[in-house]
Structure formats: structure tokens, C-alpha cells
Amino acid sequence: MDSELEALADRLTPLIMSAEPHPFEAVKACLHPRPVRFQAARLDRMHAMYHGGIPGGADGARGLLLAVLGDVRRVNPAGFARLKEEAADFTRPPTSATTRKRPSPVARQNAFQAAREHTPTAVAAPAAEAASHTAHNAVSGGVLHGPVVQAGTVAGGVHTYYTHPPHSAAPPVSEWLRLDAADPIDLGVWRPRRLPGESLLPPYAARHCDHELGERVREAAASGGLVVVTGAPLSGKTRTLWAALTTNLPGTRQIFAPEHGTDLRGLPALVRGRRGESPVLWLDRLEGHLGEHGLTPAVLADLVRLRVPVLATMDDEAYDARRFGTSDRARVLDGIEPVELNRVWSDRETRCLDAPDGDARLRSAALRRGVHTVPEYLAVGPGLVEEWRRAGRLGRHPRGHLLVRAAVDLTLCGVPVGGITGTLLRGVECLYSAELAAAARTETFDEGLAWAAAPRHGVSGLLAPGEGEDTWDVFGALPADAVDRSDHPPVPLSLWSIAITETTSKDVRATMRANAHAHLADRAENEPEAAYVLASVNGLTGEPGAAEFWLRRAADAGHIESAAMLGELLIARSPAEATGYLETAAEAGLVKAQYLLGVVLADRARHWMSRAAEKGYRPAQRALPALRGAAGPPPGTVGE
């Protein structure tokens, strides 16, 4: 049992069970940042469980609440802290002094709401033993925006109670943006990775529902009406609806995208009497706009009469929790057939992603998304990449950072899915810099691995368990980002040979050989060590000609190990050439090269001594027996 989660759940449960929407919306507002906003849908489902809207009851709701809190604490500590603060605000007992005013998350996040307001309801009467001049105070009505200055003496406790945050009003129409000036990120589209030279969003990939959705948007734009796109979290709802909007409506059309908590009741009055085309009302995550101050059946009816297109998105769970029943929330959705977006993409939808001249982000999604959908990959990937890169700092998760770095590098080498084991990760940690190794010692291997494998956003961790025992797969956006970034550190040279020895598959080894050439060929022009690694890789993959080519390149550039290997390779074919390379390595102190050079020289000495002895030269005849016993000729060398 987790006492912190249990205690927080105890405090939040009355707020979530409340029929009054303000406390519940305040709790959800703590989850506003996009990395955890999908958790708000789970809170909606839990709210419906408590109030009987869907099966599950209090026990099911309690379990779901604990799961949500655990996820938020793990992936977004700031959001978890805001939840604790919100719970403390609503459950804090009265104090004996004026309570400090602190804006709520709803107020902080609403661009048109300056601060959370509080209303003092009463001040306690003085104690019986108070002096005769003690002031008797009472304040009622109105809204207090600052401290109260009390003249005289107050006897007894002063109690300050907070009211619920008010709903903000919609801004004037003059402040609404034109469609061609709107930022899709501000409207709810997840921010993708964006490197220098890349567009704000990758090109839109057509979905199966585009034709139907386009017709609905055009109809709503002409006659008014509500269009709702539903789907699983991270299925691409907002991007799909945005594409339908920008494809079918001109950029001159105005758009209003209110924050959750905005009072929409006065919206028809703002629109009424305007000349020209009606503006678009954009309600991403529609569930946050339903309620007595939001999109009610009456407000929607007025907007339809004014021919206002209302475009909205909802997660499946949120839609199901509000669609059925007799409440006003259900009546808003009554008769509205949503456009359903499939979570899994069809083959036809994914084929367009891998165009050779297409966006690099879409190509990597097609190649590296694994078991995840394209929207999941594009939406979650940037956050995982940033979290990983920042985790290497001391005091964060340096061991986890190093393990993920090793997994990314092994993937770049060509280790296939399921080929990265915990044992392999342990074995290659030592290949990285002393600075990384020193920082990593502040965490154990198991702690680092647990951090890396913890699921983020309900999708994946940086590492995910593979199908085999003790196997791990790296989230595809990480190696893709490493390839596309010019500042990603190179794969340690020794890792290439280790990766190849981990597999016996000819196809995998061929892939690794190709990857090694792609990564190292340019470097090998100026780095003898890189040429030596390419020689080793080609030797291990059964390419002796290429291995010799890169050994010569490295040896001629002064790489001692390459000179020794090339000399040994040339003994059988060209002993004279081999002698030069072996002598270079022998002079550098390589013992095996010294031995092989001695054997080659002794073999050559026997050859010429035998020739002299055959001619009857007595000194050669006397020396030959001793020379023959000095060393046997190496296999395949020149004989006598």
C-alpha cells in the first residue's frame, strides 16, 4: 500500500464525488499540461462511476483514482504537486489568521481569469471577556480582491473560506484569430519533434474518415451544427479535425478556442449581429466545456441558429461517460453521430508515410513505431527524447540515461527487436566515458532500468520489455532522433564488433555491416581506429576483401593493431610485404607480431640457407641444422 497515494485519494474523493462542477474541474485543471492531459479522461470516467453513469461503483472508481495518481506522480511530478495543493486548499481547516490567497490551477491556466477570488462569509464574534471597545465585525456579500484592514481588536478566531473559482467570460470577437493565424499547437495538436529546417507539423497523413469528416465540416460551416471526432487517447483526433478544418474552410474565417472553464453562455450574443461568415467554435476535449456555464443544449441551439460550426474532440471514455443519460451533458450529444477515428492505422494509411522525399518524422514513424500507432509515436516521442537527454544530469537518473544510451546505440548498430538483453547492457556500460560512468554510479543497475522502463503517458517507457526473457526494446523515436541530430555522440567504436558477435543471423549481420559502413566510412578517411573497426566488422561478416582494404587504410595511417593483423593476413600470400607491417607492429611492442616476424624471417633464412647448402657452401651446411630447429614454419608459408 502506498500511503502517500492513499492519503491524497482520501482528500480528492469528496471533490470528485461532488455534484458541484467547480471542485471537480479544479482537480482536472491540475492535469492540464499535455503530457498528462489524457488522465483527465480517466478522472471523468471515475466521476461517472461515483455518480452511477457507468458501471464500476465506488470500489472501481477508487482503484482508477489510485492508478491515475500513481501515473501522474511518476511522469509529471509538477502535476502531482498541484493535485496535492488543490486537495489541501479544499480540505484545509479554518485558521486563526487571514489565509494567504493562492490562485487555483483553473485560474492560473485561464488567460482571461486574473486570479482566484475568495469571499469571506463571516468573522467570529468577540469573546465574552473582551474589552468594551472590541469591534464586532461581519462581512457578507460581494467579492473580496485583497486584504481587509481591521481597525480595533478582534477577539476570537477569524475564519476565511474560499469560494469556487468563477468562470471567465469569452473575450470580444475582435480578439478572435483568423484561421490562417491560428497555431494548431495552441488548439490541442500535440507538439512533434522539430529540428532546424523542419516545419511546425509534419505533412498530414490521410485517414480513413477524411471524406466523411470533410463533408460534416462543410455542412456545419454552411448551416451550423456540432461535429465531434472521437477516438482513443493519442489516436490523432485533434490533428485530423484540424486538417479537415483547414482543408475545407478559408483562412479568413475567424476561430475561437476557449480554455476549459470559459463561460460560453454569452457567446451567442457576441456572434449575433455580426456581418459576414460566422466564426468557428473550436472545443478540443469537449468534456471540459460541458456543464451549466459551458456548452448547454440551449447555447448549442442558439449557435446553430446563428450558423456557427462547433468542432470538437472527445476521448472514447469521456464520450461514453456523457453520452448516455438524461443530464444536459447527454442532451448536448443527443442526435450527434460522432466521427470515429480508429486507433490502429490501416495498411493504406501507413503506406504514404515512407515516401523517399517525405518528412523525416513520418518516415521514422513508419519504420520505427513498432507496436505503437503513428500518432502515439509522433506525440509521445519528443517528450521521451527530452526526458532521456535531461536525465543524464547528476541528481536525476544518470544510470538510466546511460542504459538507454547503450540501447539506442545497439539499435543503431542493427541489433533487432528483442536482441537487447539486460546482460548485454551490463556488458557494454564500460565502453562509455569515465564521466558518464562516474555519474552512473549514483544509481544501481536495477534502479536505472526501472526508471527507463516505467511507462509514460500510458504508451511506453524509454525501454519496454521484449518478448523474450530479460530482453528490452527501445522506443523507436530515440534512435530516430539520434540519427537525425548532428550533435548526438557517435556510437562507441568497440560496440560494433560486440553487437555483431551477439548474433548468428546472416541477415542481421549483413544489416550491421551496412550500418557500420554508413556510420564509419567517412570517419575512416581520417580516423585509423574507425577503419580498423570496419576491417573487423567485414572480417566477422565474411568479407575478407573489404576487411583487407580497411586494414591497409588503417595500417598505412599508423594503426598498430591493423599493421599486425594485415601482416598476419599477408604471410601466406606475400611474405615480403607482410614483413614490413609485422616489423612496424613488432617495434611497437606487440608480442604476437614479434613472434610472427621472427617466424617469417626464420623461414626466409632457412630458405636461403638451404639454397646455399645445396651449392656445397660449408658454412651454410653447418648452420642449417640449428636453423631448422629454431622454429617450425608457419602454415602456408614459403617452404624450403
Q: What is the DSSP string of 19-35?
A: SSHHHHHHHHHTT-SGG
E strand or H helix at 559, and its extent?
none
pLDDT digits (tens, 9 = 90+) for 176-197: 999 999 999 999 998 888 878 8
| Local structure of residue 352 (DSSP, 8 states) | G
Same domain, 301 and 367: no
The model's confidence at residue 352, banded by pLDDT at 50, 70 and 90, is confident
pLDDT digits (tens, 9 = 90+) for 55-87: 555 666 777 777 778 777 766 776 777 778 777
pLDDT at 330: 78
Same domain, 263 and 186: yes
Q: In sequence order, what are the beta bridge partners of 309?
A: 225
Integer angstrom CA distances of residue 469 from 408, 420, 459, 465, 466: 19, 10, 21, 8, 7
595 in any annotated domain: yes
| Local structure of residue 396 (DSSP, 8 states) | S
Same domain, 550 and 451: no
Cα separation of 106 and 59, whole Å?
Answer: 28
Same domain, 407 and 331: no
Q: What is the percentage of the chain residues whose pLDDT exceeds 70?
A: 76
472 in any annotated domain: yes
- Pick the last residue of a domain from 59, 86, 113: 86
More confident residue, 490 or 344: 490
- Mean pLDDT confidence for 597-620: 88
The residues, ordered by sequence, that sit 6+ positions from 288 with a Cβ below 8 Å of its Cβ are 25, 28, 40, 260, 261, 294
* pTM of the predicted model as reported, rounded to 2 decimal places: 0.65
> 291: exposed, middle or buried (C-beta count within 10 Å: 0-12, 13-18, 19+)?
buried
The model's confidence at residue 486, banded by pLDDT at 50, 70 and 90, is confident
Instruction: Spell out the long-range contacts of 511-516 with Cβ–Cβ below 8 A and sequence spacing 24 or more.
Output: 511/414, 512/413, 512/414, 512/415, 512/537, 512/541, 513/537, 513/538, 513/541, 513/543, 514/414, 515/412, 515/413, 515/414, 516/413
Same domain, 382 and 261: no
Candidate from 206-215, 285-294, 629-638 with smallest mean pLDDT: 629-638
Cα separation of 259 and 411, whole Å?
Answer: 42
166 in any annotated domain: no
Per the CB < 8 A criterion, the answer to whether 352 and 206 are in contact is yes
Cα separation of 27 and 84, whole Å?
Answer: 10
**416 is in which domain, residue-wise?**
358-488
Domain CATH code at residue 540: 1.25.40
Candidate from 13-22, 127-136, 396-405, 536-545 with smallest mean pLDDT: 127-136
Task: State the angle between helix axes of 3-17 and 38-50 in degrees (0 to 180), rounded to the nearest 10.
Answer: 70
The model's confidence at residue 220, banded by pLDDT at 50, 70 and 90, is very high
94 in any annotated domain: no
Q: How many CA atoms lie within 13 A of 296 on its CB side?
A: 14
pLDDT digits (tens, 9 = 90+) for 162-174: 444 455 678 888 8
Same domain, 268 and 393: no
Cα separation of 191 and 411, whole Å?
Answer: 25
Per the CB < 8 A criterion, the answer to whether 440 and 399 are in contact is yes
Question: Is residue 380 over pLDDT 80?
Answer: yes
- Report helix, strand or coil for 341: strand
Question: Is residue 21 over pLDDT 70?
Answer: no
Same domain, 518 and 386: no
The model's confidence at residue 42, banded by pLDDT at 50, 70 and 90, is low
* Grid cell locating 529: 581506429
Alpha helices in 173-262 (DSSP H): 210-223, 237-248
Cα separation of 185 and 256, whole Å?
Answer: 14
Same domain, 512 and 457: no
pLDDT at 322: 87
pLDDT at 277: 87
Cα separation of 334 and 316, whole Å?
Answer: 16
Same domain, 282 and 369: no
Question: Is residue 374 over pLDDT 90?
Answer: no
Cα separation of 76 and 84, whole Å?
Answer: 13
Same domain, 392 and 273: no
> 314: exposed, middle or buried (C-beta count within 10 Å: 0-12, 13-18, 19+)?
buried
Cα separation of 127 and 367, whole Å?
Answer: 76
285 in any annotated domain: yes
Sign of CA dihedral 495, 496, 499, 501: negative
> DSSP readout, 575-613?
HHHHHHHHHHHHHTT-HHHHHHHHHHHHHHHHHHHHHHH
- Pick the last residue of a domain from 318, 342, 366: 342
The model's confidence at residue 18, banded by pLDDT at 50, 70 and 90, is low
Same domain, 438 and 552: no
Same domain, 305 and 228: yes
Q: In 10 A of CB 135, how many CB atoms?
A: 13
Q: In 10 A of CB 111, how many CB atoms?
A: 10
125 in any annotated domain: no
* Grid cell locating 307: 450558423
- Pick the last residue of a domain from 63, 86, 109: 86
Q: What total number of domains does the chain contain?
A: 4
The residues, ordered by sequence, that sit 6+ positions from 561 with a Cβ below 8 Å of its Cβ are 532, 585, 590
Sign of CA dihedral 107, 266, 40, 204: negative
Give backbone dihedrals phi and psi of 472, rounded to 5 degrees, phi first: -140, 140
Integer angstrom CA distances of residue 80 from 60, 92, 233, 451, 633: 21, 18, 20, 18, 75
The model's confidence at residue 564, banded by pLDDT at 50, 70 and 90, is very high
137 in any annotated domain: no
